[in-house]
Structure 1
Amino acid sequence: MSQACGTSPVHPVRFDRLEALRAEAAIEPDAVPTGEAGKRTQIIAIYGKGGIGKSFTLANLSYMMAQQGKKVLLIGCDPKSDTTSLLFGGKACPTIIETSSRKKLAGEEVSIGDVCFKRDGVFAMELGGPEVGRGCGGRGIIHGFETLEKLGFHDWGFDYVLLDFLGDVVCGGFGLPIARDMCQKVIVVGSNDLQSLYVANNVCSAVEYFRRLGGNVGVAGLVINKDDGTGEAQAFAQSVGIPVLASIPAHDDIRRKSASYEIIGRPGGQWGGLFEALALNVAESQPVRPAPLSQDGLLGLFSADVTGRDYVMTPATAADMLGRDVIARPSLEVVYDTV
């Protein structure tokens, strides 16, 4: 039989290949796992207003966890790159973004030893960020995690990975752990002031938003830092439905030791019991779906003399904007009668 012009010959499937395909198709799939789902590594994202004390809390928390026999990795995801400074006595840790750029210009690859350092069982690194006006901090976070993946992040064998995120920046990079289910739970750090609780409420809103889209991340609780006993942060936690994991007092000894880059989360120390309890609560707390407050609900946690919420808003007028009386001018619009 002649082959039609311009067509390719049709070759029958080889017999041995056909048999192999049939044998593969006959293999029964593995049974669906029925045990409790979970990852050995707990990845926890910690959010809070800039300057609220996230880095102080995380440095002492990670140190205590390591002393309890846990393998802990602390990753600073704040462009200020100050998460690890308390661990290293105030010394600046080379950032992943800066190191990656320098190595790339030299035609070299980034290695673990270039960006990850350790102290007394705690492993720590900084993602870093661009200089002011020279790039997007959120994009820097994304680039940093891409580099971590190339270094083998998903194969590392840690008990806990703690991510320090700035909470008062709302662009996509900083919401990465929540938006992409990169962590199992979120912890917020706040105090008894309106701005820090505003940030904490925003983080709860982000978690709730992505839960509605099918996400799985929840809020495991609130750490109250610089607690002066006025109770607004405690009331916030109760209102949104999350537990308080620890209340770190506004104590002068803590302030002085933190300012001199001294770790206070040591077993047997004056503040050791506080961080031992925090470490236990962080480990065991379950992520929950928060109920974020409205702006009025948030303001309602504070007395009116603090927030000025009893002020009545007065609408502006055209005369206010012009700085003079407004002269009414006839309209030049032509109106046609309809038939």
Structure 2
Amino acid sequence: MNAPTGFSPPPGSQAALLRAEASVPLDPVPTGEPKKQTQVIAIYGKGGIGKSFTLANLSYMMAQQGKRVLLIGCDPKSDTTSLLFGGRSCPTIIETSSKKKLAGEPVAIGDVCFKRDGVFAMELGGPEVGRGCGGRGIIHGFELLEKLGFHQWDFDYVLLDFLGDVVCGGFGLPIARDMCQKVIVVGSNDLQSLYVANNVCSAVEYFRKLGGNVGVAGMVINKDDGTGEAQAFASAAGIPILAAIPANEDIRRKSANYEIVGRPESEWGALFAALGVQVAEAPPLRPKPLTQEELLGLFKGEAVGRGQVLTPATMEDMCAAEVFAKPSLEVVYEGS
């Protein structure tokens, strides 16, 4: 029920605190250079394609190689760090900030950032379903990071995990505002994940035309079954393959059990060690996005339903009955 016009909540109440917070102007999103030569890398991909799996193992391996790594989950599902912490969920920055503000307490680093074997990790979080904009939550989350001193932190690599199949502004923030140096896309040999990868390439190209500097460093193929569509896409888009993680039962089972497979001593250690080198050294490139027809052309006809004819519907179809044309009462003037 809406409050009556002119209603003022009692001072100190939760409603008053929320209203006061809503009236504070938003800070501009920071676009300054990170400290020293920190590489800020945004990883995009279709939901469920394996970004979190890839990033958890990649960040773990890079830390074992002596690098200082910060992993930031920017997916509203807040599951980027769950594999890293054995299935445990991190308190998100947005949720923690809201609780702290209601309690009149400041947010400290230890409230939102956690570490394991040299990897530092945090989750931005997002609103519950139907209760806000996920992209706006991303923007708000980065504003909070700036207040916590983001640009004074000393890391070799900051890895940002972004959902690629959401196109609203907040999720394109690193590309649109040059907040990262390069983008990596995670995909597989299926049309939907490559459609998302192509959209990310399109976004990078669009902002490059507007004077942006972000490029695509390459693609990681996850659950590679050897059919070759992802390799064909990368070749057509002009970006390299940084690693191909096979569709392997051992990897699937360990990932499902929240086990890190990217350990130096493991069977898959060499793969993630090589990926770490590629991620560090691959230059940001200007991609060549594919048209829809070019993208469909990477797949066999039976895989994407080509050959079908688009048959226009009629008014009779829509009404499920014969439709009689009514005479128009429109007045048409001579010479009009």
Structure 2 residue ranges without an equivalent (≥5): 1-34
Q: Is 2:247 the partner of 1:250? A: yes
Taking the aligned partners of 2:229 and 2:237, their CA distance within structure 1 comes to: 12
Aligned length: 302
**2 CA distance for matches of 1:214 and 1:306?**
38
| Structure 1 residues 158-237: aligned runs within 5 Å | 158-237=155-234
Give me the whole-angstrom Cα distance separating, in 2, the residues matched to 1:162 and 1:236: 24
Q: State which of 288, 293, 296 in structure 2 corresponds to 1:291.
A: 288
Q: Which has the larger radius of gyration?
A: 1
Q: 2:73 aligns to what?
A: 76
Identity of aligned residues (%): 81
Equivalence for 1:30? none
Which of 116, 121, 125 is 1:119 aligned to? Answer: 116
CA distance in 2, matches of 1:83, 1:335: 64
CA deviation map 1:210-266 (0-9, x unaligned): 111111000000000000000000101001100000000000000000011111101
Match of 2:306 in 1: 309
**C-alpha separation in 2, matches of 1:79 and 1:65:** 25
Find the aligned partners of 2:217 and 2:127 in 1 and give their Cα distance.
Answer: 31
Q: Per-residue deviation at 1:326? A: 2.9
Corresponding position of 1:153: 150
Shift, 1:324, TM fit: 2.2
Q: 1:323 to 1:265 in 2, by over 3 A?
A: same
Q: In 2, Cα distance between the equivalents of 1:220 and 1:248?
A: 17
Whether 1:85 aligns to 2:65 is no
Task: Work out the CA distance in 1 between the residues paired with 2:251 and 2:68.
Answer: 26
Equivalent residue for 1:268, pick from 261, 265, 269: 265
Are the counterparts in 1 of residues 216 and 287 from structure 2 also a CA contact under 8 Å? yes
- Residue 296 (structure 1) shift: 1.0
Shift of 1:330: 2.9
**Aligned partner of residue 258 in structure 2, secondary structure:** coil
* Residue of structure 1 in register with 2:22 after alignment: none
Report the alpha carbon displacement of residue 65 of structure 1 after superposing the two structures with TM: 0.3
> Which residue number corresponds to residue 57 of structure 1?
54
User: For residues 338 and 278 of structure 1, what CA distance do their matches in structure 2 show?
Assistant: 71
| Matched residue type, 2:53 | F
For the residues of structure 2 that align with 1:329 and 1:97, how far apart are their CA atoms?
58
Letter in 2 for 1:329: K
Partner Cα separation in structure 2 for residue 211 and residue 53 of structure 1: 27
Q: 1:39 Cα deviation (Å)?
A: 5.2
Q: 1:158 to 1:328 in 2, by over 3 A?
A: same
- The equivalences for 1:86-101 within 5 A come to 86-101=83-98
Give the CA RMSD over aligned residues.
1.3
TM-score (norm 1): 0.87
Q: What is the CA–CA distance in structure 1 between the aligned matches of 2:73 and 2:254, rounded to whole Å?
A: 21
TM-score by length of 2: 0.88
Q: Deviations over 1:92-129 (max 9, x none)?
A: 11100011001001101001011001011000000001
CA distance in 2, matches of 1:120, 1:92: 17
Measured in 2, the distance between the counterparts of 1:98 and 1:183 equals: 25
